[in-house]
């Protein structure tokens, strides 16, 4: 059974804290993605990675960075959390190739106070 896991389902942080969100997939997928999901806005791509140590900016990378040191793990980092980063964060992975299915993790609901 294919699986994408995220380190936390719920997280509460304070403004200015450094936040790490971890994502692990067990499918040997080349591509991994970080999205944030907000009501009425759908999913917006923050960063994606098509290989180890490779990263590409998505539509809303400001305030975020990522790390992919191993194929199975893709980390999202909020260097200094702000209240407007309160959101649901979804990680996904897929095989290379344009039309392949994205497999999503269950999401991390982050609240920044």
- Give me the residues that bind another protein (CB under 8 A), please: 4, 9, 31, 35, 40-45, 48, 50, 58-59, 90, 92, 96-99, 101-102, 104-107
Instruction: Provide the 3-class DSSP secondary structure of residue 38.
Output: strand
Tokens of 49: 């990675």
How near is the Cβ of 80 to another protein at its closest, in Å?
Answer: 25
Instruction: Provide the 3-class DSSP secondary structure of residue 83.
Output: helix
Residue whose CB is less far from another protein, 17 or 61: 61
Residue whose CB is less far from another protein, 23 or 81: 23
- Contact 30/95 with Cβ under 8 angstroms? yes
Tokens of 76: 């999202």
Residue whose CB is less far from another protein, 38 or 79: 38
């Amino acid at each position: 059974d294919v699986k994408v896991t995220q380190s936390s389902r719920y997280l509460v942080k304070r403004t200015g804290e450094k936040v790490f969100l971890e994502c692990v997939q067990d499918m040997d997928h080349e591509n991994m993605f970080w999205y944030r999901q907000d009501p009425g806005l759908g999913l917006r791509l923050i960063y994606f990675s098509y290989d180890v140590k490779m990263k590409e900016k998505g539509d809303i990378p400001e305030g975020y960075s990522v790390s992919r040191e191993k194929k199975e793990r893709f980390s999202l980092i909020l260097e200094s959390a702000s209240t407007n980063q309160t959101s649901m964060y979804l990680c996904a992975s897929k095989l290379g190739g344009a039309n392949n299915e994205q497999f999503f993790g269950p999401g991390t609901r982050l609240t920044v106070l």
